[in-house]
Chains A and B, each alone.
Chain A
Amino acid sequence: MSSHELKTGPLEYRRQEDQMTILGFWIFLGAEIVLFATLFATYAVLFGRTADSTPPMELFEPGIVLIMTFLLLTSSFTCGLAIHEMRRGNAKALRNWMIITLILGATFLGFEIYEFIHYAHEGATMQSSAYWSAFFTLAGTHGLHVTLGIGWVILLLIQLAKRGLTPKTSRKFFVIGLYWHFLDVVWIFIFTSVYLIGMVV
């Protein structure tokens, strides 16, 4: 393994093993796109089928949705800064930006949980109608991904504290970075096709 190690370039790309892991993660993200596409397709087909429950137009509020969008956008940016600092070899800045990313992600999650509870109080739950089942499945799957991402970053930060910046920990941070940006990509489409269109149509 070490015989293949490059002497220059970003740490996470120096060993072939790590290059392959990152490549594999891109393939995983391709599969994730398809997973979310099936949920988006289900949502699109069931749009408007609210039966006797509250329609989304009465529940969606631009304020909270924009706050959630900016929280996740900013967390994606700070995550990018973390990887940038990692490539400059600054482990401390990597840790700090990652912690900020975590806080922003957790705040996003808090808003989403508040939002779901609020909808449930207004009579929109998983069981209310086909529309709300599709909505909670789509937004909930994204929220679950964010939750997993937060747990993953915490575990990686522990590894970073114990092992420092090595090709292996760099590769792991690079992969979580891709994952986190990907969650923002999915949220852009939820924001646009679920919330914005839900408030217009």
Chain B
Amino acid sequence: MTDHNKRIPTQHVIGFALSIALTLLAAWTALGSNLSTMWIISSIMILAVIQAGIQLFMFMHVVESDSHNGHVPWNMMFHGAVLAAILVAGSLFVMSFGFTHDHDGENHEQHEQQDSGDHSDMDMEGDGEHEGH
């Protein structure tokens, strides 16, 4: 935070080295390791969050007293991240009911898409009906 007069910006160099290492680790986890798909997805997402944190804290100075902006920048980023998690996880959850991958030409996909917007719990019933046909 107070290193702006130093010639070599240690924080930036460490942040950069960590970012490169984390990127390579994520690439190896996904392409080179023998972990199961679920473990790969969870671990590389965690690595991505750590790397985003490095950008925010070591490069963007999200908390620095000189800014006189208090906790607001940090709060904006945190609430943004929470909203992002709700949007992505919530969409996946809502759309996971009866959203099948078969291409049997039946019109049920459109029908279910409309349903899932408002009452996702109703979809299970709708799905059951279609299977009955």
Main secondary structure of the interface of A (DSSP, over half): helix
A residues less than 8 Å from B55 (CB atoms): 76, 181-182, 184-185, 188
Binary contact track B89-131/A, C-beta < 8 Å → 1, others 0:
0111001000101010000000000000000000000000000
B residues within 8 Å of A by Cβ? 4-5, 7, 9, 12, 15-16, 19-20, 23, 26-27, 30-31, 37, 40-41, 44-45, 47-48, 51-52, 55-56, 58-60, 66-69, 72-73, 76-77, 79-81, 83-84, 87-88, 90-92, 95, 99, 101, 103
CB < 8 Å neighbour of B77 from A33, A41, A193, A197: A33
Would B76 and A29 count as touching, CB distance under 8 A? yes
Would B67 and A19 count as touching, CB distance under 8 A? yes
Known: A30-B80, A73-B23. 14 other contacts (CB 8 A): A13-B66, A13-B68, A26-B77, A30-B79, A33-B84, A36-B84, A84-B9, A192-B26, A192-B44, A196-B31, A197-B41, A197-B44, A199-B30, A200-B41
Central interface residue in A19, A37, A74, by most chain B CB within 10 Å: A37
A residues within 8 Å of B by Cβ? 9-10, 13, 16, 19, 22-23, 26-27, 29-34, 36-38, 40-42, 44-45, 48-49, 51, 62, 66, 69-70, 73-74, 76-77, 79-81, 84, 87-88, 177-178, 181-182, 184-185, 188-189, 191-193, 196-197, 199-201
Would B48 and A188 count as touching, CB distance under 8 A? yes
A40 to B84, CA, bound (A): 9
CB < 8 Å neighbour of A189 from B15, B40, B48: B48
A residues less than 8 Å from B26 (CB atoms): 191-192, 196
Can you pick out 5 interface pairs between chain A and chain B where the beta carbons lie within 8 Å of each other?
A13-B67, A23-B72, A33-B80, A88-B4, A193-B48
Q: Which residue of A is nearest B73, CB measured?
A: A26
Question: 4 nearest interchain CB pairs?
Answer: A33-B80, A37-B84, A30-B76, A87-B4
A residues less than 8 Å from B7 (CB atoms): 88
Would B16 and A73 count as touching, CB distance under 8 A? yes
A residues less than 8 Å from B20 (CB atoms): 70, 73
Q: A80-B9, A196-B26, A197-B30 are in contact. Are A45 and B67 (CB under 8 A)?
A: no
